[in-house]
Amino acid sequence: MSPPPSHGVDLVVRPTHRRAGEVHVIVGPMFAGKTTALLRRVMAEADTGRSVAIIKSSRDNRYATDAVVTHDGTKFPCWPLSDLLSFKHKFGADAYQKLDVIGIDEAQFFGDLYDFCCEAADLDGKTVVVAGLDGDYLRRSFGSVLNVIPLADTVTKLTARCEVCGNRAFFTLRKTGETQTELIGGANVYMPVCRQHYTNGQGVSVTKEATRIAFETHVVQNDLVLETAAAIV
C-alpha cells in the first residue's frame, strides 16, 4: 500500500543539529568554594574552545562590580544584572546565539532563576552552571536555587571547614543580630559551621562578641594605665 498523499507538507521529522542544553547546580554554605568551582567549570569549558559568559547579581559588590571574585582573590569578568531574563537582550541576540556556556554566581539572588534555566537549557541549548547558597542563615531554602534541582543534570553539594572546630561545615551561621534574609557580607558577618556548632551558634556568637569586647576593653584599660603613668612621671 502506498503512503497517503502529503498535500505538499513534509511529514519527515528531520533531526536538528543544535547541541542539547545542560544544567549543573553547585550549592553549599558560605566559604565552601562555590565560586571557585563555578570558575573552574566555566574555564575548563572555555579551554575546549566553547564560548562562555558569567552572570552575577548586581547587588553583590563586595569585591568588584564587574567581576566574579573568589574569597582568595581569583577574578573573572562578568555581567552584573538585577534579573536573568534580560541577559539575552543585553548580551545581544547574535552574540547570545554563539554562546555555549552561561555561569551564574550567587544564584540565590535571582527570582527568575528557574525560568531562565528552562529557557537557556531546554530551548536555547546552553550549558548553564548555577552556583549559590542552598540555605540561609536559618537553614531555610534561599531564593530559587533548590527549585532548579529538578532541572539539573548534576548537583554538587560542597562543604566548608567549621570555623570553631575544623570539621566539615554544612551550614552558615550569622554573627550579627540582623534578621533579614538577604544581608550581603563576608567573614565579618558569616562563618561556616558544623551541625554541632550551628545548634550552639548563639552561644558561639555571644562568646566571640564577648571576647572581642573584653579584648577591646583590656586594650583601652592598658592605654589609660600608660597615660596615667606618663602623667605621673
Grid cell 533531526 — which residue?
A: 15
As annotated, the active-site residues are 106
| DSSP code string of 131-190 | EE-SB-TTSSB-TTTGGGGGG-SEEEE--EE-TTT-SEE-EEEE-SS---S-----TTTE
The rounded distance, in Å, linking the Cα atoms of 163 and 181 is 22
Q: Whose CA is closest to 86, among 59, 123, 112?
A: 112
Q: Where are the alpha helices (DSSP H) in the chain?
A: 34-47, 87-91, 93-98, 113-117, 195-199, 201-232
